[in-house]
Amino acid sequence: MVVTTQALTVCDVGIDAVQLCRGVTAMFADLGFAAVGELPLPNGRRADLAAIDDQGQIIIVEIKSCRADFQTDRKWRDYLEFCDRFFFAVAPDFPRDILPGESGLILADRHGAAIIRPAPATPLHSARRRAQILRIAQTACRRLMRVDLADPAHQTIAI
């Protein structure tokens, strides 16, 4: 059972959001993207997963673990202005007919994922892209710093 505190939604599912995120992240790594979870956005929202490739293309993924999670959370349109492409990621048994057709679709499990429906491209303005790239980089660096500070034996920088 998964409980999401933001929407106070209870889902009785076999694959939870963390496992879906792990599978989607593995897929993005195979496709040459670097991904970061729970990316804060300037509008106060938090993207479940953001990925960026070596060309600076930014993808945001909204992970939905069950029908109730989707039906109680209508914030997904708030993410569109911060990415070039937007996807929903769901488990294979998710009722896909309730998802909007104008977004991309990823089917995932804990081991991997596959893009079932490509997301339409809506390229970001260059200033917005730069700001998003910096946001992704700073978020990833801050998380790495916390790991280094919490465990001196895990230093990532040779001194």
Domain boundaries, the chain: 2-154
The pLDDT assigned to 43 comes to 96
Distance of alpha carbon 37 from alpha carbon 61, whole angstroms: 9
The pLDDT assigned to 6 comes to 45
Distance of alpha carbon 78 from alpha carbon 80, whole angstroms: 6
| Beta-bridge mates of residue 11 | 2
The pLDDT assigned to 113 comes to 98
Residue 9 CB partners (closer than 8 Å, separation 6+): 3, 66, 68, 69, 72, 73
The pLDDT assigned to 127 comes to 97
Q: Whole-model pTM above 0.75?
A: yes
Ordered per-residue pLDDT tens for the chain, 159 residues: 443 444 434 465 578 999 999 999 999 999 999 999 999 999 999 999 999 999 999 999 999 999 998 988 888 999 999 999 999 999 999 999 999 999 999 999 999 999 999 999 999 999 999 999 999 999 999 999 988 777 766 666 555
Three-class SS state of 107: strand
Structure tokens at 21: 């995120």
Residue 146 identity: R
The pLDDT assigned to 1 comes to 40
DSSP type of residue 54: T
